[in-house]
Amino acid sequence: MARPTKALISKSAIIHNFNVVQQFAPHSKNLAIVKANAYGHGSIVVANILNPLVNAFGVSCIEEALEIRNAGVDKPILLLEGVFSKDEIAVAADNDFWIMISNQLQSKWLVESRISKAINVWLKVDTGMHRLGLMNEEAIKVYAELNNSNNVNEGIVLATHFSSADEQDYQDTKIQIQKFKQVQSSLINHLNSDAKIQCSVANSAAIMAWPDSRLEWNRPGFMLYGNSPLLSESNYADKLKPAMTMQSEIISIRSIEKGESVGYNKVWTAERQSKIATVAIGYGDGYPQSAKSGTPTLVNGVIAPLAGKVSMDMITIDVTDISNVSVGATVILWGEGLSVNEVAKCSNTSGYEILARLPNRTPTVLVE
């Protein structure tokens, strides 16, 4: 027997969601984002599923890249944060890793390195996120340095990142697109060339909500895992299928009287005679400790609200209005029928954080 808490990872849902990405932008190439253990879904598992379908992968650092390369993934892998030391450049060259250049120091390291073969480079420009990236004139200078280096392959990709693409009514994304096009135009004028520069600006939210951002390369991440990145309601969200279903089982049921409390600090008190079920999952398994009473779970397809504080290993839910509930019944915490975004909203966090913080204690099980 084993503790019943587990995350079911659907191979068919991941493939379906990638096909949705292609429907939004059929003429773009796709860099699938599998950083942070593929948003908790398992980077090796997801990368192997998508390896025959995508053009390349994106990770945050060289350790993540090596993990999936050593697992047999043969597509190019982009280091989204670039390199953190000069010695990583040789490793990147030997393993067909692409490098995002975000500052002049990274460019200097690359140009000065002695490496086995040239590297594909993406150049990040700062159009308003103000986190990483080069400003206009600085970007033109660094692009020229890289373009003239024998260590860099032809076809440098110009990239940026949006700060607010998830807000469909927010005009900042339009401004960032305009700024990006200005950098692109300035660069073309500087090069005195008619050659087209490949570009990448669209993350999941932009792919879904900002058609002007769907350029040569897109970078789908959150939507690959079946969750909408948009803050407002969207019909597009219905196209996606959750790739992870977090589930556990009821391990105890008890009846309590009106006025009795449940869990730590008595934050939930019964307003009627109630039936309370204890479920084998807690914040030690990745369920958010900040989840408030009333956060939905699903039992027999019916909502059973959280009752009381989340413990390290258990939660308690109100199943008073659900018939035929017994010990051993499956409880869905998020996934099919219950969006992780809804759980996140009740927990003052985001679906991104809940998924990415899934701990090693919670096993993932691949299903078709």
Active-site entry in 35, 124, 239, 241: 35
Phi, psi of 219 (to 5 degrees): -125, 70
35 is catalytic: yes
Active-site entry in 174, 196, 258, 264: 264
| Residues 6+ away with beta carbon under 8 Å from 15 | 49, 50, 53
| Residues 6+ away with beta carbon under 8 Å from 233 | none
The CA distance from 101 to 124, in Å, is 6
Give the Cα-Cα-Cα angle 35, 37, 41 (nearest 5 degrees): 120
User: 111-144 b/e with 16+ CB inside 10 Å = b?
Assistant: bebeeeeebbbbbbbbbbbeebbbeeeebbebbe
Q: Could you tell me which residues are beta bridge partners of residue 8?
A: 245, 365
Q: Could you tell me which residues are beta bridge partners of residue 255?
A: 275
264 is catalytic: yes
Nearest to 177 by CA among 127, 218, 220: 127
Helix (H) or strand (E) holding 121: strand 121-124
Which residue's structure tokens are 């975000």? Answer: 102
3-state secondary structure string across 97-120: EEEEECCHHHHHHHHHCCCCCCEC
Strands 97-101 and 77-79: parallel
Catalytic positions, written as ranges: 35, 264
